[in-house]
Structure 1
Amino acid sequence: MKEEAFQSNEHNNAHSDTAGPLIRHEISHEDHPLSLGKASVWHQYFEHTEIAEQIDRDLQRTHPEMKFFSGESSFGRKHRESMRNVLLLFSKLNPAIRYVQGMNEVLAPLYYVFSTDTDEKNASNAEADSFSCFVLLLSDSVDHFCQQLDNSSVGILSTLSRLSDLLKANDEELWRHLEFTSKVKPQYYGFRWITLLLTQEFNLQSILRIWDSLISSPFGIQEMLLRVCCAMLLCVKSRLLSGDFAANLKLLQHYPEINIEHLLQVAQDLTPDTSYYRMSS
């Protein structure tokens, strides 16, 4: 009798749990969907979603002239998905920087090289290999993406100043014309050149050749990058000297086709900016 009563009571409790009103659980302020606190799981979710959407938009614009990256083919979608994973993971692991528009352009050459490896086993690891190299490549210039460091010795403004000094050391006439006559400051063109490692200035095959020189240079990636940027100015010197602000800005923001081997040779032969080395020592 007692056993039957106990079973009946259990049945009634189970029924009341499902049929009655739901029990209201208290949630912390931080976990409220409308909470603006940065520690809120909802804030983090919405932030992650926003970053993912930005990455998706940027990947759609990555080398649209190449079927490898664009289009709705299965392999095009696969490549974008792999690159998306790399950029999202980088964003997660670097909360102070997260994802910055343009990082997709820096990743693209790396992913392309690994994905097109003739060794299928190597190609199958393109996503992981690309992530590893992407982190290493940006480790030398990641401070350029951090706005809080813009005015520091490791920020982008300091690097642009070094570019200006390098040009002055190698061609003071051109430096004076850009700085004082046409007033085309390095910020107007060099910011994109440096932060995106020239990926917006040349086609992919040219970028691969330039990056070979950057990565293998005994000067280091950033130093060689500044040399290439300075060489880009020297190679269009006559056009710059004859141009005003508008003409020179258009020229440098839409850099013309050039013999890449000649450009790299000019960069290699530049006189270093010795003032930087004196300050560093």
Structure 2
Amino acid sequence: MYLLNSLHKLVPTEKVSMAGGCALNSVANGKTLLETPFREHCIQPAAGDDGLALGSALYVSNSILKEGKRWVMKNSYLGDEYSDSFIKTELEKYKLSYKKQEREELIDATTEEIKNGNVVGWFQGKMEWGPRALGNRSILAHPGFPNMKDILNARIKHREAFRPFAPSVLVEHQAEIFEQNHPSPFMLHVYKIKPEWRKRLSAVNHVDDTGRLQTVAREENPLYYDLIKKFESKTGIPVILNTSFNENEPIVCQPYEAIECFLRTKMDVLVIGSFFCKKNVSD
């Protein structure tokens, strides 16, 4: 914070952009907006070494080709995407039973599982670029079940108990739930949860009453937004617990990786493309 405050004295502006591995420190990022005069904080989601590819492309565009284009990065969904026909072939390779559903039926069935305390693997659209799962390669669960952290760690993640899970919140409800209102679409800020929401969000409320949130806007991810909106209509909670779709390995990218992770862990449901897959009791 000392460096940022010193920077502001040299360059008195309300906007600051950051890059490099240190820019992925979500606790420090949250404090930047509390303890410095900066009011706008811009960090692209792949702020570490992987961001060099973006920097190189922008350098060529602006400095060599002189295109002079301005590009605002509104989401991180830049990775691979798979058709339903491809996904169906993969499901059949693994002899996994499935039901193909229309969009609204898929959303309703998925939120019903989450509402009932089940753990859902959610594989949709283009993969996220950067280290965070932001609703396309995610494991989803109820944010208000006090034992959900233990369930996820025991069944799937097998990681240290003290590590928190993230809340994905509808952007219009951020100010209602969190003490800071600067959007965090790339899950790069930690904010305090307001007292009246701490018990209701017990599975994503860290020991210091904070959450590393992802704000979700419909224009950036319509399917994920509508999923959370439907969950809100069933529970009164405009938040879903979101953690990366993996088990001590890189986040799944291809359908077969999601299927294998689903089969070898105690995940309850896999929602992959338009297909809803639920394990049999014997699985």
How would you bin the TM-score normalised by the shorter chain? under 0.3
Which of structures 1 and 2 has the larger relative contact order (alpha carbons within 8 angstroms, sep 6+)? 2
Normalised to the residue count of structure 1, the TM-score between the two structures is 0.24
TM-score, with normalisation over the residues of structure 2?
Answer: 0.24
Higher normalized strand content (fraction of residues): 2
Which structure shows the higher helix fraction?
Answer: 1
